[in-house]
Structures are given as C-alpha cells and as structure tokens.
C-alpha cells in the first residue's frame, strides 16, 4: 500500500526527509509557507534556497494549504524551527487525523519555558494519544541525506510500536534508523550539541586548535549528560547517535550552520550580522538561552553553556570567557556524574 505522508516545514531537513520518503514510494505532501517556494518545488523540482544541489523526486508535492496537506495522513513529520514549533502545533491540531503517528525532527527548546519539543506536543496536541508521538534525531546533515549519502539516526518514542512504525516508514538502503525509548535523552542530545558546535566554531574562529576542539566536545558531552541525568534521561543514550554521534557530526562539519555561525562570531562578526547572513535557522543560539534557563532552574552546573551564553547575550569578551573556563577550580574528571561510575581511587 502506498503511504501518504505529510511533512511540515520545507527547509533543508524537511525537504531531505521528503526526498527519502519519496524514494521509498510514499506520496509526500510537503507544507511550505511561501507560494513562490511551492511553485518552485512543484514546477522546477528544486528548493534552491535550502538544498541548491538537489533535484527533487516527482513523488513530492508542495502546498501552502495546511489542512489539505494533513488530510487523511497516517504519518506526519514536523520539521519546523523550534521558534515556530508551538504556533505550528496549534495550527495543525484541528486538522490532524486522531490515529496519526507524529514525529518531530526539531532540535531546540521553547525559550519561554525551557520545554522540549515533545513536551510541547503533549501540551498542544492534548487530545492526541502521546504514545503515537516520536522524535527523530541524530547525525544527519540535510545536504548529505538529500544526496543519498549513508546516514544513521535514532527514532525515540515511549511506545515501541510507534518507533518501529517510523523505522519501517523511513528505512532505505542509505538511511538507517535505530529505536530508543529514551525520549528525554535523545531530544536533549540533539538540542544541546548545537550549543557546543557554536563553541567549537568560536574556538576555531579565534584560531585555537584541535586540543581545544576535543576539550569542548568532551567536556561539552559531560555537561549535556549531567543535565540529562538530572532530567531523567538514560546515561547510555548520550553515547549513542543522538549524543556523541550528532556532537561529532555538528562540531566537525563544514555543513553545520551552528559551527559556521560560531566561526564567524569568533572572527569578530556580530550575532545579528551572522544570523542575517546565514538565512537558515541556527538553533544553537536559542538553545543556549533555553539550556541556560534550565540549568538555572535545576541547579545543574553547565560551565561551557554559561560561557557561551555570556558571550552571546551579556557582552563578555571571548578571551575572558576562555580565561574563566580554564581558571575554574580544580575538579575530578567525573565529579559531577560520580554516581554514574563505579571505579574509585585505590587509596
């Protein structure tokens, strides 16, 4: 049976996922807000602003009519920026099939409340069965996935049936999905790595080297894990695709908008200028605000996130931020996650 799928958000990643689905023989209705973009996709088979090198599959049909896009769909993928997530949920609620499986691929937080995207889904789609919700996340640059370059991700849901339904829907010879019941951990990994990628870009822009990059990635993962444990995530998840996997992909890739934004900031450009030039979403900037807020609410120590917050929003100089990080009190490498390791000193 041909599956009909709705993809909400026709940016880079929504379009890349639509391409995967069309390759699998699905009929894909892709929601785009701008008529001009709808026409370009349907008539030229391109989405040149977001994926300039890609010729789109004939099975993708773009539309700006949200109700028509959602009509009768058993599978819905939400791929908007986090800034548009709550509003979009409110807009889709009246048109969503009650039986639909709904997955989101958005990496970020609601900065007003610090909530994760799946928490917003539960809140805004309150009539829907939350066991039909899933999160799709992991190392997956749209630029590569849309060119059918091998990519692996994880789909997390509280219900195995839902996770496996998305696995069956999306798996191809070049796109491999794993499942995980840890919704909190997978979402946090995907959202928080963008902050560290900004920091790594920053360090590269300042002319630092591989030692600093490795330090930020490793210590970044420590603070991501620390917050995750506090919020009920499973530690092992952070060693998986949504944790260290996406951290590597984002901190070391020329595709990463977060890394590129950090690099430009490190070279002295202003935040407004960098965001304007990018023309695409840089989730790490909002995520820094969201994570800083959660860290304060929970009392979890997140020194790298705090340093990036101070540079981005409080005018601290990068040089002072680095000096502050390097000059912190001496600590045990695993001090903050001590309960997670069993190894102790011999004497």
Ligand X SMILES: NC(=O)C1=CN([C@@H]2O[C@H](COP(=O)(O)OP(=O)(O)OC[C@H]3O[C@@H](n4cnc5c(N)ncnc54)[C@H](O)[C@@H]3O)[C@@H](O)[C@H]2O)C=CC1
Q: Is 44 annotated as a binding residue?
A: no
Closest C-alpha to 152, from 168, 132, 182, 172: 172
Q: Give how far Cα 204 sits from Cα of 85, 197, 223, Å.
A: 31, 10, 21
Flag whether 123 is marked binding.
Answer: no
Q: Which does 256 bind (CB under 5 to 8 A by kind): ligand 13P, ligand X, none?
A: ligand 13P
Could you say which of ligand X, ligand 13P, none residue 250 binds, taking C-beta under 5 to 8 angstroms by partner kind? ligand 13P
- List Cα–Cα distances, 164 to 56, 144, 158, in angstroms: 27, 24, 11
Contact with ligand X (CB under 6 A) among 5, 21, 24, 50: 50
Question: Nearest Cα to 320, choosing from 329, 307, 309?
Answer: 307
Q: How many residues sit in the footprint of ligand X (CB under 6 A)? A: 25
Torsion angle, CA of 79/81/82/85, rounded to 10 degrees?
A: -60
Q: Which of 81, 185, 228, 245 forms a contact with ligand X (CB under 6 A)?
A: 81
Question: Binding to ligand X by residue 189, rule CB under 6 A?
Answer: no
What is the separation, in whole angstroms, between the first and last Cα of the chain?
65
Tell whether 176 is in a known binding site.
no
Residue 107 touching ligand X (CB under 6 A): yes
Residues ≥6 apart with Cβ < 8 Å to 24? 3, 169, 170, 172
Residue 108 binds to ligand X (criterion: CB under 6 A): yes
Q: Which residues make up the interface to ligand 13P (CB under 6 A)? A: 107, 139-141, 194, 197, 246, 249-250, 255-258, 283
Selected binder of ligand X within 5, 69, 70, 79 (CB under 6 A)? 79
Q: Could you give the CA distance from residue 289 to residue 175 in angstroms, rounded to a whole number?
A: 32
Is 73 considered catalytic here?
no
Q: Determine which one of 24, 132, 193, 289 is catalytic.
A: 193
Q: Check the annotation: does 140 bind a ligand.
A: yes
299 is in an annotated binding site: no
Nearest residue (CB) to ligand 13P, 128 versus 193? 193
Our CB check for ligand X shows the closer of 26 and 136 to be 136
Angle at 259 between CA 303 and CA 140, to 5 degrees: 105
Distance separating alpha carbons of residues 52 and 48, to the nearest angstrom: 4
Which residues, numbered 252-311, are part of the site for ligand X (CB under 6 A)? 280-281, 283
Provide the annotated active-site residues. 193
Binding site for ligand X (CB under 6 A): 9-14, 33, 50, 79-82, 84, 87-88, 105-108, 140-142, 280-281, 283
């Amino acid at each position: 049976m041909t599956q009909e799928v709705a993809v909400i958000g026709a940016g880079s990643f929504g379009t890349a996922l639509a391409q995967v689905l069309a390759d699998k023989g699905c009929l894909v209705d892709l929601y785009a807000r701008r008529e001009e973009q709808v026409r370009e996709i349907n008539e030229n088979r391109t989405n040149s602003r977001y994926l300039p090198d890609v010729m789109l599959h004939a099975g993708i049909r773009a539309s700006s009519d949200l109700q028509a896009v959602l009509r009768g769909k058993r599978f819905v993928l939400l791929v908007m920026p986090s800034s548009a997530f709550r509003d979009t949920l409110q807009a889709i609620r009246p048109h969503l099939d009650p039986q639909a499986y709904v997955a989101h691929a958005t990496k970020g937080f609601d900065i007003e409340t610090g909530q994760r995207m799946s928490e917003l889904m539960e809140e805004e789609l309150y009539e829907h069965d939350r066991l039909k919700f899933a999160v799709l996340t992991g190392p997956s640059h749209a630029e590569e996935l849309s060119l059918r370059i091998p990519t692996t991700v994880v789909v997390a849901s509280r219900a195995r049936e839902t996770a496996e339904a998305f696995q069956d829907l999306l798996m191809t010879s070049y796109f491999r999905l794993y499942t995980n019941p840890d919704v909190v951990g997978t979402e946090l990994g995907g959202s928080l790595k963008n902050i560290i990628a900004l920091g790594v870009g920053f360090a590269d822009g300042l002319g630092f080297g591989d030692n600093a990059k490795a330090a930020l990635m490793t210590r970044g993962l420590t603070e991501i894990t620390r917050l995750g444990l506090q919020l009920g995530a499973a530690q092992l998840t952070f060693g998986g695709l949504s944790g260290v996997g996406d951290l590597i992909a984002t901190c070391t890739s020329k595709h990463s908008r977060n890394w590129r934004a950090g690099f430009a900031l490190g070279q002295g450009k202003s935040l407004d200028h960098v965001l304007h030039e990018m023309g695409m979403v840089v989730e790490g900037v909002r995520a820094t605000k969201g994570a800083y807020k959660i860290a304060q609410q929970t009392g979890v120590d997140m020194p790298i996130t705090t340093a990036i917050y101070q540079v981005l929003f409080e005018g601290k100089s990068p040089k002072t931020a680095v000096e502050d990080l390097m000059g912190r009190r001496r600590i045990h490498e695993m001090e903050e996650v001590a309960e997670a390791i069993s190894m102790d000193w011999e004497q």
